[in-house]
Structure 1
């Protein structure tokens, strides 16, 4: 069974989905700026997430369900 891909409209929604424990892949469905991209990479990639470009958007994928530090 293939993991479901959820869609986030902003950074907060993406974090909420990833922290929920129910999804492993989140499409960032907004125009992600460079500062925001590096914030996402810092918060999530340090905990084992992968970010890939697919078409015009980015997808964050988790192997497990690590929860990044709270800001």
Structure 2
């Protein structure tokens, strides 16, 4: 049986980056009304380096696994 885990939720792009760069979390829920410009910024900064963005339960979740952390913005 799959257990439900609580993901940290970021309320801004900056907060999402800080959580991911911290090294303590591998997934972050993007908990704000993300616009297309911000979405493509995240994709450019993180997915080009190997992160994945999925839509889960109506919100986007970004996950990082075993890749170098992108440069500081």
Please classify the TM superposition score into its range, dividing by the shorter chain length: 0.7 to 0.9
**How many residues end up aligned between the 2 structures?**
71
CA RMSD of aligned residues (A): 2.0
Gaps of 5+ in 1: none
Return the alpha-carbon distance in structure 2 between the equivalents of residues 12 and 22 of structure 1.
16
Which structure 2 segments of 5+ residues have no match?
A: none
Structure 2 counterpart of 1:60, from 55, 62, 73? 62
Q: Which has the higher contact order (CA 8 A, sep 6+)?
A: 1
Larger Rg, first or second structure (1 or 2): 2
Query: In structure 1, what is the equivalent of residue 10 of structure 2?
Result: 8
Q: TM-score, normalised by structure 2?
A: 0.86
